Each structure stands twice: as structure tokens, then as C-alpha cells.
Amino acid sequence: MLDTKNALKKISKFKAKNIFLQIPEGLKTQALEMVSALEKEGLEVFISVDPCYGACDLRDHEAKALGCDVILHVGHSDYGLKSRIPVIYEEFEMNYDPVPLLKNFLHDLKPYNKISLVTTVQFLSSLGHAKKFLQKRGKRVFIGSSKRGKAGQVLGCDFSAAKSLERVVDCFLFMGSGTFHPLGLAMEMKKPVFFLDFEGSQLLSLKDEKRRMENIRLMQIEKAKSCKNFGVLGSTKPGQMRVRTAEGVKERLSELGKNSWILVADEITPEKLLGLQIDCLVNTACPRLREDSRFFKKPILEPRDVEKLSE
Ligand code: SF4
């Protein structure tokens, strides 16, 4: 459950009266209860119903326009973004003990002595349980520091907690739910990545899935070589604005003899691109777009793939 008392304590420090609430989809079922508790304390709350996938999506423009004193940003940790008004990050911790599940799969980790543990913000407390358990079984366990989050935390766009240990460990163990983060991690790392899936109660080696994803990526690059008109996708969400990257991609595409345009939106969806004569996309916004890539019906490249168009 959301810790409303803790949120209220933080709000009182700012002497705030008007609150702009941002909450991820998975926690929206608890939003009204939280807001009622805040209203009982005399606060006025505006609930942002736009999807919020990360702390990169800070809606300080909207909050300011509505006359809010603070943003209450639930479910994500501080991404390091500057904001026009104060932001209270109220993380949501699942307090899940992974040991009973991990016990079942210890034999799969037998060949690996040095293990790096990573997870997402809501399962950070699981790291400590797993670390103790694995250490007692003779493993050396590492939890790397993260550029954008807490120790051991990965984001879909930041795997620094793992990258800092790539030379040190034998494998990575991602613990949590959903395939977006562990697959992204597997694509970034050279060492083996395992996924302790809390929802599916299973331990998956991501070796085969990584190979499948890499093949898809290579096929997309091959297709893109014959495309003429490129859309360089950018987001107007403050933490996803990578204007220089988008401009750099456009410049490089031009050198390669391709036409290109920078296309921006808050949330990028296939419908927003209808009518544009674009054959191929290069995504400079959130990597989560790859989960919906089939709906765009055209190749979607990462900025680093553009170099491969000339090979
Ligand atoms: S850009 Fe995407 S992956 Fe990165 S924090 Fe935002 S929502 Fe998460």
C-alpha cells in the first residue's frame, strides 16, 4: 500500500497546499484512497491521469500552470531532473523476500561465483535478502552504484549499476517482474544475464531471447538500408529530451544520403505518425518504445544503429 503518512510528512515540510499528483498505471487503483487522505488534511490535489512510466516524465509545466506548490511523484526515484517547483518522490516498495524462490534455482547459478544483483526501484529491499542468502552459499555478491538511481537499481535507459561491474562479475541476476528491464540489461551486457521472475516464479536465462532480439535488430538495420525517408523520434518529456542526439542522428543520416525529419511528441504512438511518408524510424526517446515496435509497422533503429547503415 502507498505510504500516505510518509507523503504527508514530506508535504508538510514544504507547507504546500496544492498538490500535483503523478502516479504510474500500476498504482492508480490506490490513487483515490491516497488523495482522499490528503484532502482530509486540507490539501487540494490534481491527479495527472497521463501515463507516467518514470521520473523522466516530470510534468512541472502543467503543475505550475495549475498553481500547484509541489509535485507528488509516486512510484519512481529521483532521476536527477531540475524542476520549476519542488518534487516529492514517494517510492513504492514491494517488500518482497526473493529467498524462497531463489532457493529453487540455486543449482542454475552453480557455475557462477561472482554475481551482480540488480532490480527496479520497487524491489530494492529484495537485494539485501538475496545478497545474504547467496553469500551464505559461498557466492561473492556485488551491488553496483547507479548514475540515475540507487545502488543496484536499473532503469530501462540506465544500466550503470550493472555496467560498473561488468569486468568484475561472472553473471548478472535481475530480480523483479516484467521483461522490459531484464531484456534491456541482457542486450547491454556481454556476461550472462539471469532473470528471477517474481510473477512467473521462475529463473530464466536470457541467452536465447537476447540472440533473438539481436537477430531482429540486425534484420531491422538491413531493412533500413533501403529506406529513404527517416523520422527521428524525440519526446518532449523533460527527462527524455535528447535534442543533440536527435540532431546528430539527422546530420549523420543526411551524410548517408537519407532524408530525415525530427518528430516530437509527449507520448509517441503510431497514430501520431499517420500521414507522414516515413519508411524508417530512429528512436532517441524512451527505449520502452521497442515494446510497441510491431504497431509502427516500420523498422525502428536505435541511434547507435545508424552507423551500421553504411556497412
Ligand atoms: S526514459 Fe523510459 S526507461 Fe528511462 S526512466 Fe524514463 S520511462 Fe524509464
pLDDT digits (tens, 9 = 90+) for 41-95: 999 999 999 999 999 999 999 999 999 999 999 999 999 999 999 999 999 989 9
Q: What is the pLDDT of residues 93-142, one digit of tens each?
A: 899 999 999 999 999 999 999 999 999 999 999 999 999 999 999 999 99
Where do the CATH 3.40.50.11840 domains begin and end in the chain? 4-90
Fold of 217-310: Rossmann fold (3.40.50)
Cα of 290 from ligand 1 centre, angstroms: 12
CATH superfamily of 4-90: Diphthamide synthesis DPH1/DPH2 domain 1 (3.40.50.11840)
Where do the CATH 3.40.50.11850 domains begin and end in the chain? 99-205
Cα of 53 from ligand 1 centre, angstroms: 6
Residue 311's pLDDT is 86
Q: Does the CB atom of residue 152 touch ligand 1 within 6 A?
A: no
Angle between helices 31-40 and 4-13 (to 10 degrees): 50
Round to whole Å and give the CA distance between 83 and 80. 9
Q: How far does the chain reach from its first CA to its final CA, in angstroms?
A: 52
Q: What is the pLDDT of residues 147-199, one digit of tens each?
A: 999 999 999 999 999 999 999 999 999 999 999 999 999 999 999 999 999 99
Burial of 310 (0-12, 13-18, 19+ CB in 10 A): exposed
Cα of 231 from ligand 1 centre, angstroms: 20
Round to whole Å and give the CA distance between 233 and 262. 6
Ligand 1 atom nearest to 180, measured from its CA: 3
Angle between helices 207-225 and 180-188 (to 10 degrees): 70
Ligand 1 atom nearest to 53, measured from its CA: 7
- Taking Cα atoms as reference points, which of 220, 217, 221, 239 lies closest to residue 78? 239
Q: Does the CB atom of residue 56 touch ligand 1 within 6 A?
A: yes
Where do the CATH 3.40.50.11860 domains begin and end in the chain? 217-310
Q: What is the pLDDT of residues 244-298, one digit of tens each?
A: 999 999 999 999 999 999 999 999 999 999 999 999 999 999 999 988 889 999 9
Label the pairing between strands 171-176 and 114-119: parallel
Round to whole Å and give the CA distance between 33 and 22. 14
Round to whole Å and give the CA distance between 35 and 155. 27
Ligand 1 atom nearest to 184, measured from its CA: 3
Round to whole Å and give the CA distance between 95 and 97. 7
Cα of 41 from ligand 1 centre, angstroms: 33
The top-level CATH class assigned to 99-205 is alpha beta
